[in-house]
Amino acid sequence: MRLLVLGGTHFLGRHVVAAALARGHDVATFTRGVSGAPPEGVRALHGDRDDPDALPRALADWAPELVVDTSCQTRAAARNAAAALAGVSGYAFVSSLNAYRGWPPGPVGREDDEPTWDTDEDDYGPNKAYAERVIGAAVGEGFLTARAGLIVGPWDDVHRLGWWLERIARGDRVVVPDALEQPIAVVDARDLASWLVTAVEQGVSGAVNATGPTGMTTLGGLLDVCREVTGSDAEWVPVPEADLLAADVQPWVHLPLWLPRGVARTAWDVDTTRARELGLTTRPLVETVADTWSWLQVSGRPPLARMAQLAEPGLPAELEASLLARHDQAP
């Protein structure tokens, strides 16, 4: 079928393109064309989705039947997609758990029991919830919204897992939060991408919490896998949460994937029953981490492609040095 990927040249979108080609679809991508090109065999359509004329112009000679939308970050982008693509038979929208008013901290129960944002704030979660409503109303029956959790894997330009891999590979003593037992759940971009393509083909509709199963690993388990795949001799230096916060270490940003205990207790508790019933798979974590590490070594981290401003992940070297020094002095 004629399948349009809104996005498609970075991270998740790139894997969606690969999955759609593998399923034999006639694939087009729609991007501004500033951050890379799709692979050979894909129709590269160009325009800025914040411009209301761009999609109609680009699609004048090629009308998609199915859409996978990985790149919607603004309200204008949502309205423009709703206006231009209302007639498709299937539309898979990549949303986020942030669309839920109560997440974080969560927990997140079954999709239909949890309210989403309905405010006017120009913010990530409210914008995703707005986009779900606007595009969902335009497309009707064939609209699927995948509320993704933490997405990881090769081509991840956000670089949260990537930062840990690079830091751990350098070895020596590594500051880690004293919360290694904290649960964590991730979804490999390739698992999510191939599921999105088959789900949109099959006409799956409604909302789906699209992340790994609760309890699939812990923060410590994930860091151990990073140490294993990088062959590092890194030694963990667990620093108590109070010390990290007192030193202005920002959870999630300076130490990616770490959340303070009060939030972590519920934030990783997401009901993914529907995703499992609908066939979203979870490959072994070691495979995700090893493939991300191989890709990073070959390609290096690409420039950040997304529109929303994201803080640069990672613990600044001086902050790490001072935490290590303080820890050395601790009784």
Q: How many CA atoms lie within 13 A of 13 on its CB side?
A: 30
Determine contact, residues 135/81, Cβ cutoff 8 Å: yes
Q: Which of 19, 21, 134, 148 binds ligand NAP (CB under 6 A)?
A: 148
Q: Which of 26, 50, 224, 287 binds ligand NAP (CB under 6 A)?
A: 50
CB atoms within 10 A of CB 124: 16
Residue 150 or 239 with smaller CB distance to ligand NAP: 150
Near ligand NAP in 1-20, by CB under 6 A:
7-13
Nearest-approach distance from CB 251 to ligand NAP, in angstroms: 15
Query: By CB under 6 A, is residue 281 in contact with ligand NAP?
Result: no
Q: How many CA atoms lie within 13 A of 185 on its CB side?
A: 22
The structure tokens 């995948």 sit at 146
Residue 237 or 304 with smaller CB distance to ligand NAP: 304
Rg (CA), the chain: 20
CB atoms within 10 A of CB 101: 14
Query: By CB under 6 A, is residue 34 in contact with ligand NAP?
Result: yes
Q: Which of 19, 45, 79, 96 binds ligand NAP (CB under 6 A)?
A: 96
Residue 31 or 230 with smaller CB distance to ligand NAP: 31
CB atoms within 10 A of CB 289: 26
Query: By CB under 6 A, is residue 167 in contact with ligand NAP?
Result: no
Query: By CB under 6 A, is residue 292 in contact with ligand NAP?
Result: no
Nearest-approach distance from CB 139 to ligand NAP, in angstroms: 17
Q: Which of 305, 315, 319, 323 binds ligand NAP (CB under 6 A)?
A: 305
- Cα distances from 76 to residues 6, 155, 209, in angstroms, run 14, 27, 24
Question: 102-141 mask for ligand NAP (x: CB under 6 A)?
Answer: ----------------------------------------
Query: By CB under 6 A, is residue 44 in contact with ligand NAP?
Result: no
Query: By CB under 6 A, is residue 71 in contact with ligand NAP?
Result: yes
Determine contact, residues 48/77, Cβ cutoff 8 Å: no
Nearest-approach distance from CB 263 to ligand NAP, in angstroms: 16
Candidate segments 146-154, 227-235, 251-259, 264-272, binder of ligand NAP by CB under 6 A = 146-154
CA distance 21 to 9: 14
Residue 186 or 239 with smaller CB distance to ligand NAP: 186
Q: How many residues bind ligand NAP (CB under 6 A)?
A: 27
Q: Which of 58, 82, 84, 94 binds ligand NAP (CB under 6 A)?
A: 94
Q: Where do contacts with ligand NAP occur on this chain (CB under 6 A)?
A: 7-13, 31-35, 48-50, 70-71, 73, 94, 96, 148, 150-151, 158, 305-307
